[in-house]
Structure formats: C-alpha cells, structure tokens
Amino acid sequence: MISKSFEFKKININNYNYYLFYGENNGLKNEIIEVYFKNRFKGNYYNYEEGVIIKNKDNFFDEILTRSFFEEEKLIIINEATSKIIPIIEELIEKKIHDIFVILISGKLEKKSKLRNMFEKNKNTICVPFYLDNYQTLFYKIDSFFKEKKIPISSEITNAIINRSNGDRLHLKNEMAKIECYSKGRKKINLDEILKLVNLVENNDFNDLINACLSKNEKKLKYIVNENNFSNEDTIIIIRIILSKVKRLLKIRNEMDINKNIESILLNFKPPIFWKDKDILKQQISHYSKENLEILIKKLTEIELQTKKNYQNSVNMTLDFILNEVRRASN
C-alpha cells in the first residue's frame, strides 16, 4: 500500500509490520523513523545491511527471533535494500510474527522495481517514497522551527543555513539545534555569528579527516588528528558525515554494476557532486568493494551506538575506529 511521507502521521503503525522507505531524502526518512518508531521501541531496534543478511540468513533469523527477558517488540531496520531481499521478507511475512516491525531503507527505486511493486501492491505493507526537499520546504521548516522557539532570525540567516547544510535534513536538524543552544539568553544574533557556528558541511577539519580515512592516507590522517583538538561533542557529527560519505560511495559502487564509466556516473550523480570532490571520490571508490562498504556502514552504526553509551570516551573511540579503518586493507 502506498502512503505519502507528509501523511505518515495518519498511519497506525500497530496495524502494519512491514515498511519500505525509498528515495533520496534520507533526512526525512530519519525524522520519521525517530518520531514514529525509535521513540516507541526504546532501544529495541537493530540495524542491518542487506548484503550481510543475505550472506548470513540463518544468523539473521536467529538474532531477530531471539528475545531477551525485557523485549516485547523489535524494530528491524534494513539499509540499502534491493529486490535481492524479497525472498527473506516474504519468508518473514509468512511466519506472521506480530511483535517484529521491519523497515527497509532504499535509495531511488524505479517503477519497475520488484521490491517497490511488492510493497505497493500488498495491502498489509506500507510503501513510502521520499523525494528531495525543495527550497521552499526547507525555508518553511527552518522558519517554523525558530518561530516556535521564539528565536528571531532573518531570511538572510535562513538562506545561510540552507546553503551550509546542502539541503540535507539531517544536517539541517543539527544546525538548528546548535543555533537554538547558542541563542539562549540572546536578544539578537547576526549573520557573522551564524556563519561561524553553522559549519557542519564546510568544516575542513572534519572533511579532511574523513577524506584521509576513506582515501587510506594514514600519514595525512595522523597529521590532522595531531593538529586538531577534537571533542566528545564532535564525535556524532564526524560519524554521521562518514556514514553519509560511505553511503554515497556505496551508491556509486551500485551504479558501477550497471555503468562502468565512473566519469559518467559522477557527472550525472544526484545530488550533484562538486567538481573538486570528483578526484577524491574516484580515489576512495578504488579502495572499497560493495561488500566492504556495506560492512563499514554496519560498523559505523554500531560505533555511533557505542559512543552514545560511553560519551565521556567517545572521541577516543571514534578516532581509534578511524585509525583502524585507514589501516585496513583495500577491497
């Protein structure tokens, strides 16, 4: 059954156990999962990559069907889902397990996609497309947020936030939270202050750190780590930027299965790739197979969870993870 993302609040999730969220708006997917699912499951949710499930189907079933004493329900999130996962989902549906909720996360799916058709045609499953936000949608979201918080900002500042977040809702959410904290007790904030504060996408230290890691440049990585005083507050931002970059690499790698011409892929990639990033991406993609990218995504999800549980040591955990990754053999 098809539902629209802006109408999702009308759905009673108790009535449906299987969901397909597809499209390019990853930030909106995350928002809906956070609001309607993760708050309900209170930590009883588990992230998987499709490739790992297919390789270890029996382990997957054992893990999701096993219950701890305190678990009543489980939320299973399967990332980078394609039509290859269909037999496993069909088997799960046939088991009629009512205390397991499954969300499949996919990128752009064409109308002829078997996975999309399966979820659209089944009245007991929910299929939701997530299209990219336009400028007006993002402007309204920011404007509404700050009006609700009674924080006075100009349209010039709103435009700066949109530009610095590259239109990504997840980045946008982080930036608005930072501005909200910064503006407490202040009657007025100006554009220069915001430009210094809103630096998530353009933070060269973060980007250089992550690019060195994914390019397997250990010498440069060590230099950046030694020259910067990264804090515990930086760790979630760093992990999520890495995750975003790795997912982009996986998307490129998937497209290379169809089109071997990397120049053509990068030229037509959505969202568009800035010209100066193309050489870096070509270098990074040469170090990773599809399988290794899927494994890395799972590890990043796990390290984010670990750093949240051990916040005081999160920066050491994150940097150790990055240093180990840069030393890991390519492909």
Q: Rounded mean pLDDT of 1-21? A: 89
Tell which wins on pLDDT, 36 or 6.
36
Tell which wins on pLDDT, 185 or 19.
19
Residue 31 lies in domain:
5-130
pLDDT of the residue at 330:
66
Based on the fold, state whether residues 164 and 59 are members of the same structural domain: no
Confidence of residue 133 (pLDDT cuts 50, 70, 90): confident
Based on the fold, state whether residues 184 and 208 are members of the same structural domain: no
Based on the fold, state whether residues 23 and 139 are members of the same structural domain: no
Tell me the residue type at 77. I
Tell which wins on pLDDT, 13 or 275.
13
pLDDT of the residue at 203:
52
pLDDT single digits (tens) 143-176: 899 888 888 888 888 877 776 666 677 778 878 8
pLDDT single digits (tens) 81-131: 999 999 999 999 998 888 889 999 998 899 999 999 999 999 999 999 998
| CA dist., res. 308 & res. 312, Å (int) | 9
pLDDT of the residue at 200:
41
pLDDT of the residue at 201:
42
- H or E element, residue 58: helix 57-65
Confidence of residue 309 (pLDDT cuts 50, 70, 90): confident
Per-chain mean pLDDT for the chain: 85
Last residue of a domain, one of 130, 157, 186: 130
| CA dist., res. 103 & res. 88, Å (int) | 13
Based on the fold, state whether residues 275 and 192 are members of the same structural domain: no
Based on the fold, state whether residues 234 and 181 are members of the same structural domain: no
Cis omega before residue 129 (within 30°)? no
Q: What are phi and psi of 314, to 5 degrees?
A: -65, -35
Give me 115's structure tokens.
């996975």
CATH number at residue 61: 3.40.50.300
- What would the DSSP string read from start to end of 259-313? ---HHHHHHT-SSPPPGGGHHHHHHHHTT--HHHHHHHHHHHHHHHHHHHHTGGG
Comparing C-alpha atoms, which of 57, 109, 51 is closest to residue 294? 51
Based on the fold, state whether residues 174 and 214 are members of the same structural domain: no
Based on the fold, state whether residues 262 and 280 are members of the same structural domain: yes
Q: Rounded mean pLDDT of 259-287? A: 81
Based on the fold, state whether residues 228 and 269 are members of the same structural domain: yes
Residue 214 has pLDDT above 50, yes or no: yes
Percent of the chain past pLDDT 70, that is, above it, reads 90
pLDDT of the residue at 173:
80
pLDDT single digits (tens) 279-302: 899 999 999 999 999 999 999 989
- H or E element, residue 22: strand 18-23
Based on the fold, state whether residues 304 and 267 are members of the same structural domain: yes
Query: What is the C-alpha R_g of the chain?
Result: 21
pTM exceeding 0.75 = no
Last residue of a domain, one of 178, 197, 216: 197
Based on the fold, state whether residues 231 and 321 are members of the same structural domain: yes
CATH number at residue 262: 1.20.272.10
| CA dist., res. 297 & res. 295, Å (int) | 5
How many domains does one find in the chain? Answer: 3
Contacts with 140 (C-beta within 8 Å, 6 or more apart), sequence order:
none
Based on the fold, state whether residues 232 and 120 are members of the same structural domain: no
Tell which wins on pLDDT, 296 or 269.
296
Separation in Å, CA 139 to CA 68, 142, 319: 44, 5, 35
Please report the sign of the dihedral spanned by the C-alpha atoms of residue 167, residue 128, residue 300, residue 74.
positive
Based on the fold, state whether residues 27 and 120 are members of the same structural domain: yes
Last residue of a domain, one of 130, 151, 173: 130
Residue 318 has pLDDT above 90, yes or no: yes
How do the residues of the chain divide into helix, strand and coil, expressed in percent and rounded to 5?
Answer: 65, 10, 30
Q: Rounded mean pLDDT of 226-244? A: 83
